[in-house]
């Protein structure tokens, strides 16, 4: 019978179609599968019997393939609701499991939450900081099309300065000659001590304004910048001459909020002016690269004496708004071409071939990327932002590694539970979801704690890093999205590997409690990575704080001890003029100033008094180009000028190395524009090419306008700027009577009393002028604000990193100890000492730390070398910077392990043997 | 039921379900179509049509008995619902109404 003949074939035939059936099962919705498979199977069997196996198989293949169609694959109506319901039940179950494991294993859970929450909190804080740093100047309507014109000055092929301001001729050209420039404005900073501003109060008496930032602005100011006006319309406030806009704070402080139409009088020593307030502007937000309380507007050159009507008069900072699609590089080229043309027409006098080129800086890049001369504020540092982002990622990575390592280690304890779940039919996917749910629960908890930490710690941290309190924003679409992303990414990273490990347990061996194929070498690698990261942070912290200490304690070449500085005023009355070759002076004021100095000299608490134009710590903006004909008749060098009096060296403790100090005995010292005596510092002597200081004395310097300066003495190079910068080549000119600062060497031990005395004398001589004073060391060290901030942040971050890493270490040790409790018991019974137990558990660890150091140190060394090169004066990078963190880390790691071991092995060995 | 529209193949499958009664499952329908209409139809096409008809509420399904030939898999047995019967009847009536008009037109034409 045919049926009999076919009978043995059927089992074989069925076997031959397994693959196709499995394929069908793969793409077919489960709800439909049974009916379809049955039909296909039935047809196949019929076909085998009627058509033979080969043709039947061909037909079957075709049938299966024909089922691969959207109506089948995408059809999920039958089971949809049930699936959702099932999924929901599963999810509830996963949450319950996660909750149970949190409660059961409190140590691990605490370590998870602590580590992750600290990591996330750091990340959130750094995100807030970076967000603030990147938000600079973006509130202006035309922020993306606004550029600042910076100037690069070259002398004989060398760049001698790059400045934020530019020539007035460029402003005129930008405002009228370039169609791609929509509008342009120029601002000119006015030093508060050089500008004496008074207001009329109710009784019409004049009272001085104190501590304010003022700028001279032209009528296009509000076309370029969109600082919101509270009173007044943007294009009307500066419609007329002698108008002023004040900030909200200033208006409230001096006019009770109602400032419109009020009068301000200004006196810059040169000219007295009256301004009517036509607008009140909201206080400048902290994320603006310049800040002001007062804008003054009048036509004519603000503050600049009309030396000539040439193109090449230095003006203020110039900002231009380009039209959409205009190419800033093309405009730069045009400006440079214009400058070359004008260069040809330049002044009759040779200025030793100085040329200028122009650079358009995007407004929004100024804060992080511009570090030129005469910046309007302390700018940020893009490198610092990148480094902080990097550190945040490192800390997060350390926290994630903790989670990964610890939860895979703990998974071994749960292996039986996993085995049972598998036997009961849990799918791989299901286990994945279970572990991910647990990670999500931990991350959600940690996120909550992190948000709490940030909310509580932010005021302290903001004060530490000089961040405005408004920098932390929660309710903002982007911020919430970022937090959500943090949560999602953190969950995935921390949960994915443990999920993979747990899902890949073999059910049978898992039930026996073994067979966990945990990749131990990956875990080792992760631990090494953790230690490397910690090492990077610790070394960076050490180096930055040592460098900071070095910079703050190194001898500066002048004395800062009890050196009080009182700001003079009226210094801007003296305009350095190339053509005049000297400074203009108000005689009446000069006599007043001389009287003040005399009175101070008569006070017992004041040892010495000097006047000077530029304090150490201030960037010098006077100077000229010189040739030393006796060395090289061709080479010109730019030197910077400081105006001083006879007592300058004595008061600031600057040493004379060769020649003599200025002296009243030599009437030629003061000199005039054509001939005067100068002191040089060693750096200037070296740059000019003299062999040694002694050989420079009595030599002559020539300026391009033909003046002849005699070098009468050489003084030591002192740090005019921070130790990040090299020595400045300086020359000193005698300005005996009035300059911008009085430097007072106090004698008294009671400094506040001495300051009080000085103030009394000040009030006597300048009754209506504010008494602005500070100590020189504070002023000088203010330059290290950003370094100090960075060192603080690095210290905090590395402490946190080490803390998290130790947490992880503690968790891992606990886990290892728990799994080897019996072993410890047996070893103890056999007489093992505590030390040998610690050794047993820490041997691997020590190797890993050493390996981490070995791997990281070379890269770290190169990186730090590179970083240190940004400091002109720096500490030597010794082996101690690597050895100390290594020793510290080893000690800390051993301590962590020992704590756990001692705790465990103190127990009676019998208890440990009963374990399990 | 007027707004529902059935395609030709859908109508055919629906009719077959009506005919086969308790024996209406995928394979049986394919064979029935072949037997009665002499028309080859594809199993997957029949399945898809059955599901579509089920979506429309014209038939309903339940799992029936398993046989050896099916490798132990149960059949998905489809039965026609009242709505399905009404639909078939409505379509038949509509066609008959039209049909009544056809001969007159044709025959008057004299061909």
pLDDT tens-digit map of A594-611 = 888 889 988 888 899 998
A395 and A345, same structural domain?
A: no
Query: What distance in Å separates the CA atoms of residue A267 and residue A262, rounded to the nearest whole number?
Result: 17
Put simply, whether A198 touches B (Cβ < 8 Å) is no
Put simply, whether A37 touches B (Cβ < 8 Å) is yes
**Amino acid A569: pLDDT:** 67
**Amino acid A82: pLDDT:** 56
A880 and A832, same structural domain?
A: yes
Torsion, Cα A315 A318 A323 A326, to 10 degrees, reads 90
A453 and A405, same structural domain?
A: yes
**Amino acid A656: pLDDT:** 92
Asked, for residue B2, whether it belongs to a domain, the answer is: no
In the DSSP assignment, the letter for residue A582 is: B
Q: Average the pLDDT over A723-735 and give the result.
A: 89
CB A852 within 8 A of CB A766: no
Contact B52 A45 (CB under 8 A): no
Q: Which residues of B touch A71 (CB under 8 A)?
A: 48, 51-52
Q: Average the pLDDT over A659-687 and give the result.
A: 86
Query: What distance in Å separates the CA atoms of residue A794 and residue A788, rounded to the nearest whole number?
Result: 10
**Residue in chain B nearest A18 by alpha carbon:** B71
DSSP, collapsed to helix, strand or coil, labels residue B25 as coil
Query: What distance in Å separates the CA atoms of residue A815 and residue A568, rounded to the nearest whole number?
Result: 69
Residue among A7, A339, A17 nearest A167 (CA): A339
Query: What distance in Å separates the CA atoms of residue A864 and residue A539, rounded to the nearest whole number?
Result: 9
From the list B25, B45, B61, the residue facing A39 with the nearest CB is B25
A737 and A692, same structural domain?
A: yes
A670 and A541, same structural domain?
A: no
Strand A741-746 to A606-612 pairing: antiparallel
Asked, for residue B83, whether it belongs to a domain, the answer is: yes
Asked, for residue A774, whether it belongs to a domain, the answer is: no
Helix (H), strand (E) counts: chain B: 4, 2
Cβ-Cβ contacts under 8 Å for A167 (sequence gap 6 or more): A151, A311, A312, A313, A314, A315, A356
Q: Quote the domain boundaries for residue A297.
A: 157-351
Contact A39 B45 (CB under 8 A): no
Residue among A593, A607, A688 nearest A645 (CA): A593
Q: Which site among B29, B41, B43, B51 would you substitute to test the A interface, given the most A Cβ atoms closer than 10 Å to its Cβ?
A: B43
Percent of chain A with pLDDT over 90: 21
Read off the pLDDT band of A248 (50, 70, 90). Answer: very high
Q: Which two tokens stand for residue A280?
A: 């009140």
Task: Read off φ and ψ for residue A660, nearest 5 degrees.
Answer: -130, 165
Contact A63 B27 (CB under 8 A): no
Contact A39 B48 (CB under 8 A): no
CB A118 within 8 A of CB A399: yes
H, E, C per residue of A83-124: HHHHHHHHHHHHHHHHHHHHHHCHHHHHHHHHHHHHHHHHHH
Q: How far is CA A516 from CA A458, A471, A722, in A?
A: 44, 48, 60
**Residue in chain B nearest A13 by alpha carbon:** B71
Residue among A624, A855, A580, A576 nearest A730 (CA): A624
Asked, for residue A682, whether it belongs to a domain, the answer is: yes
The distance of A81 to chain B (nearest Cα, Å) reads 15
Question: What's the number of domains chain A is made of?
Answer: 4
Question: What's the number of domains chain B is made of?
Answer: 1
Contact A39 B26 (CB under 8 A): yes
CB A703 within 8 A of CB A735: no
CB A713 within 8 A of CB A679: yes
Contact B44 A67 (CB under 8 A): yes
DSSP, collapsed to helix, strand or coil, labels residue A230 as strand
The distance of A34 to chain B (nearest Cα, Å) reads 6
A790 and A764, same structural domain?
A: no
**Amino acid A582: pLDDT:** 41
Q: What is the mean pLDDT of chain A?
A: 83
From the list A41, A63, A67, the residue facing B71 with the nearest CB is A41
Tally of residues, chain A: 916
Contact B74 A34 (CB under 8 A): yes
The distance of A40 to chain B (nearest Cα, Å) reads 8
Q: Average the pLDDT over A506-533 and give the result.
A: 74
> Domain ends where: A351, A374, A399?
A351
User: Which of the residue ranges A394-408, A415-429, A882-896, B10-24 would you say has the lowest mean pLDDT?
Assistant: A415-429
A398 and A306, same structural domain?
A: no
For the cut 90, the answer to whether the pLDDT of residue A71 exceeds it is: no
Put simply, whether B94 touches A (Cβ < 8 Å) is no
Put simply, whether A40 touches B (Cβ < 8 Å) is yes
Percent of chain A with pLDDT over 70: 89
CB A869 within 8 A of CB A779: no
pLDDT tens-digit map of A360-390 = 999 999 999 988 888 888 788 888 888 888 8
Q: Which two tokens stand for residue A128?
A: 């807030």
A527 and A649, same structural domain?
A: no
**Amino acid A605: pLDDT:** 87
Cβ-Cβ contacts under 8 Å for A615 (sequence gap 6 or more): A565, A741, A743, A776, A779, A780
Q: Average the pLDDT over A806-827 and give the result.
A: 82
Put simply, whether B35 touches A (Cβ < 8 Å) is no
Contact B25 A41 (CB under 8 A): no
Task: Read off φ and ψ for residue A643, nearest 5 degrees.
Answer: -85, 130
Q: Which two tokens stand for residue B69?
A: 């030939």
**Amino acid A381: pLDDT:** 81
* Between residues A667 and A86, the one the model is more confident about: A667
Q: Which residues of B touch A20 (CB under 8 A)?
A: none
H/E segment holding residue A266: strand A263-267
A728 and A583, same structural domain?
A: yes
Read off the pLDDT band of A680 (50, 70, 90). Answer: very high
Q: Average the pLDDT over A237-246 and give the result.
A: 90
Q: Which residues of A touch B27 (CB under 8 A)?
A: 39, 42-43
From the list A42, A67, A69, the residue facing B27 with the nearest CB is A42
Q: Quote the domain boundaries for residue B75.
A: 8-108
Asked, for residue A434, whether it belongs to a domain, the answer is: yes
Q: Which two tokens stand for residue A409?
A: 């280690």
Read off the pLDDT band of A462 (50, 70, 90). Answer: confident
A855 and A718, same structural domain?
A: no
A688 and A637, same structural domain?
A: yes
Q: Which residues of B touch A60 (CB under 8 A)?
A: none
Query: What distance in Å separates the CA atoms of residue A438 and residue A914, rounded to the nearest whole number?
Result: 31
A625 and A673, same structural domain?
A: yes
Using CB atoms and an 8 Å cut-off, which of residues 67-86 of chain A contact chain B?
Answer: 67, 69, 71-72, 75, 77
From the list B47, B61, B67, the residue facing A36 with the nearest CB is B47
CB A234 within 8 A of CB A268: no
**Residue in chain B nearest A43 by alpha carbon:** B27
Q: Which residues of A touch B63 (CB under 8 A)?
A: 34-35
pLDDT tens-digit map of A853-911 = 898 999 999 989 988 888 889 999 888 999 999 998 889 888 888 888 887 777 766 66
User: Which of the residue ranges A420-434, A522-536, A693-707, B14-28 would you say has the lowest mean pLDDT?
Assistant: A420-434
From the list A35, A72, A77, the residue facing B44 with the nearest CB is A72
The distance of B3 to chain A (nearest Cα, Å) reads 23
Put simply, whether A35 touches B (Cβ < 8 Å) is yes
Query: What distance in Å separates the CA atoms of residue B98 and residue B111, rounded to the nearest whole number?
Result: 20
Query: What distance in Å separates the CA atoms of residue B65 and residue B72, rounded to the nearest whole number?
Result: 9
For the cut 90, the answer to whether the pLDDT of residue A210 exceeds it is: no
The CATH number covering residue B76 comes to 1.10.10.10
Contact A66 B73 (CB under 8 A): no
Asked, for residue B48, whether it belongs to a domain, the answer is: yes
Q: Which residues of B touch A38 (CB under 8 A)?
A: 25, 66, 70-71, 73-76
Read off the pLDDT band of A45 (50, 70, 90). Answer: confident
Q: Average the pLDDT over A144-150 and give the result.
A: 93
Using CB atoms and an 8 Å cut-off, which of residues 43-72 of chain B contact chain A?
Answer: 43-45, 47-48, 51-52, 55, 61, 63, 66-67, 69-71
The distance of A424 to chain B (nearest Cα, Å) reads 23
The distance of A88 to chain B (nearest Cα, Å) reads 26
Q: Which residues of A touch B79 (CB under 8 A)?
A: none
* Between residues A299 and A850, the one the model is more confident about: A850
Asked, for residue A142, whether it belongs to a domain, the answer is: no
Read off the pLDDT band of A525 (50, 70, 90). Answer: confident
For the cut 60, the answer to whether the pLDDT of residue A182 exceeds it is: yes
Contact B26 A32 (CB under 8 A): no
């Amino acid at each position: 019978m045919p049926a009999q003949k076919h009978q043995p074939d059927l089992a074989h035939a069925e076997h031959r179609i397994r693959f196709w059936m499995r394929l069908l099962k793969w793409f077919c919705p489960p709800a439909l599968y049974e009916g379809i498979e049955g039909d296909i199977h039935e047809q196949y069997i019929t076909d085998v019997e009627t058509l033979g196996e080969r043709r039947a198989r061909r037909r079957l293949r075709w049938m299966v393939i024909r089922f691969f169609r959207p109506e089948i694959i995408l059809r999920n109506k039958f089971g949809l609701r049930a699936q959702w319901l099932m999924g929901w039940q599963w999810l509830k179950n996963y949450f319950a499991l996660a909750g149970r494991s949190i409660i059961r294993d409190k140590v691990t859970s605490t370590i998870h939450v602590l580590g992750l929450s600290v990591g996330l909190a750091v990340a959130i804080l750094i995100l807030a900081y970076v967000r603030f740093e990147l938000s600079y100047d973006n509130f202006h309507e035309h922020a993306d099309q606004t550029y600042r014109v910076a100037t690069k000055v070259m002398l004989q092929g060398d760049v001698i300065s790059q400045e934020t301001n530019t020539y007035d001729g460029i402003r005129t050209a930008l405002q009228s000659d370039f169609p791609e420039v929509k509008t342009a404005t120029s601002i000119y900073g006015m030093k508060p001590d050089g500008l004496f501003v008074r207001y009329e109060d109710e009784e019409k008496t004049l009272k001085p304004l104190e501590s304010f930032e003022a700028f001279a602005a032209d009528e296009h100011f509000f076309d370029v910048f969109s600082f919101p006006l509270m009173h007044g319309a943007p294009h009307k406030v500066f419609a007329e001459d002698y108008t002023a806009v004040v900030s909200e704070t200033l208006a409230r402080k001096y006019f009770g909020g109602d400032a419109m139409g009020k009068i301000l009088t200004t006196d810059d020593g040169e000219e007295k002016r009256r301004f009517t307030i036509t607008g009140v502007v909201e206080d400048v937000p902290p994320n603006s690269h310049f800040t002001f309380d007062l804008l003054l507007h009048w036509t004519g050159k603000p503050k600049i004496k009309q030396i000539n009507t040439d193109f090449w008069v230095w003006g203020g900072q110039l900002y231009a708004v380009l039209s959409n699609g205009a190419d800033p590089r093309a405009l730069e080229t045009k400006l440079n071409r214009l400058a070359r043309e004008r260069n040809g027409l330049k002044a009759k006098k040779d200025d030793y071939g100085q040329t200028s080129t122009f650079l358009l800086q995007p407004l929004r890049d100024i804060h992080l990327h511009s570090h030129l001369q005469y910046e309007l504020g302390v700018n940020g540092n893009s490198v610092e932002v990148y480094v902080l982002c990097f550190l945040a990622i490192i800390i997060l990575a350390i926290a994630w590694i903790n989670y990964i390592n610890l939860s895979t280690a703990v998974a071994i304890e749960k292996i039986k539970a996993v085995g049972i779940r598998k036997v009961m039919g849990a799918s791989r996917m299901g286990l994945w979801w279970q572990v991910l749910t647990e990670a999500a629960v931990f991350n959600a908890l940690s996120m909550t704690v992190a948000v709490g930490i940030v909310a509580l710690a932010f005021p302290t941290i903001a004060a530490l890093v000089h961040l405005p309190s408004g920098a932390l924003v929660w309710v903002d679409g982007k911020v919430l999205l970022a937090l959500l992303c943090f949560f999602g990414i953190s969950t995935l990273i921390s949960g994915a590997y443990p999920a993979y490990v747990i899902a890949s347990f073999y059910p049978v061996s898992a039930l026996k409690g073994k067979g966990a194929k945990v990749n131990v070498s990956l875990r080792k690698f992760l631990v090494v990575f953790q230690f490397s990261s910690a090492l990077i942070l610790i070394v960076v912290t050490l180096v930055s704080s040592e460098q900071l200490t070095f910079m703050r304690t190194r001898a500066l070449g002048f004395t800062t001890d009890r050196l009080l500085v009182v700001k003079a005023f009226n210094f801007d009355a003296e305009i350095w003029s190339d053509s005049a070759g000297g400074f203009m002076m108000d005689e009446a004021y000069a006599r007043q100033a001389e009287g003040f100095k005399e009175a101070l000299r008569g006070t017992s608490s004041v040892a010495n008094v000097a006047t000077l134009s530029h304090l150490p710590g201030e960037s010098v903006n006077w100077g000229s180009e010189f040739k030393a004909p006796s060395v090289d008749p061709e080479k010109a060098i730019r030197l910077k000028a400081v105006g001083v009096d006879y007592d300058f060296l004595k008061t600031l403790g600057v040493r004379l190395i060769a020649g003599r100090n200025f002296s009243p005995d030599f009437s030629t010292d003061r000199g005039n524009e054509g001939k005067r005596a100068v002191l040089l510092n060693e750096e200037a002597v070296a740059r000019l090419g003299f062999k040694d200081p002694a050989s420079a004395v009595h030599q002559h310097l020539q300026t391009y306008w033909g003046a002849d300066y005699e070098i009468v003495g050489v003084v030591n190079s002192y740090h005019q700027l921070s130790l990040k910068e090299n020595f400045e080549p300086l020359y000193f000119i005698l300005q005996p009577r009035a300059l911008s600062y009085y430097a007072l060497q106090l004698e008294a031990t009671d400094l506040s009393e001495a300051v009080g005395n000085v103030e009394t004398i000040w009030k006597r001589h300048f009754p209506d002028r504010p008494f602005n004073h500070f100590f020189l060391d504070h002023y000088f060290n203010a330059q290290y604000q950003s370094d100090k901030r960075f060192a603080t942040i690095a210290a905090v971050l590395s402490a946190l990193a080490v803390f998290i890493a130790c947490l992880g270490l503690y968790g891992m040790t606990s886990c290892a100890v728990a799994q080897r409790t019996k072993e410890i018991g047996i070893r103890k019974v056999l007489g093992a000492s505590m030390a040998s137990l610690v050794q047993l558990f820490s041997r691997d660890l020590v190797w890993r730390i050493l390996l981490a150091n070995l791997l990281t140190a070379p890269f770290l060394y190169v990186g730090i070398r590179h970083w240190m090169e940004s400091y002109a004066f720096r500490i030597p990078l010794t082996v101690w910077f690597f050895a100390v963190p290594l020793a510290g880390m080893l000690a800390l790691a051993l301590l962590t392990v020992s704590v756990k071991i001692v705790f465990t092995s103190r127990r009676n060995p019998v208890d440990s043997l009963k374990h399990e | 039921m007027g707004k529902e529209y059935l395609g030709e193949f859908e109508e055919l499958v629906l009719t077959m379900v009506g005919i086969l009664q308790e024996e209406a499952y995928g394979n049986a329908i394919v064979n029935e179509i072949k037997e009665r209409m002499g028309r080859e139809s594809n199993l997957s096409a029949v399945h898809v049509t059955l599901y579509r008809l089920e979506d429309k509420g014209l038939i309903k399904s339940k799992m029936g008995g398993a046989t050896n030939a099916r490798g132990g898999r149960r059949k998905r047995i489809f039965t026609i619902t009242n709505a399905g019967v009404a639909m078939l009847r409505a379509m038949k009536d509509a066609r008959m109404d039209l049909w009544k008009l056809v001969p007159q037109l044709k025959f008057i034409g004299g061909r």
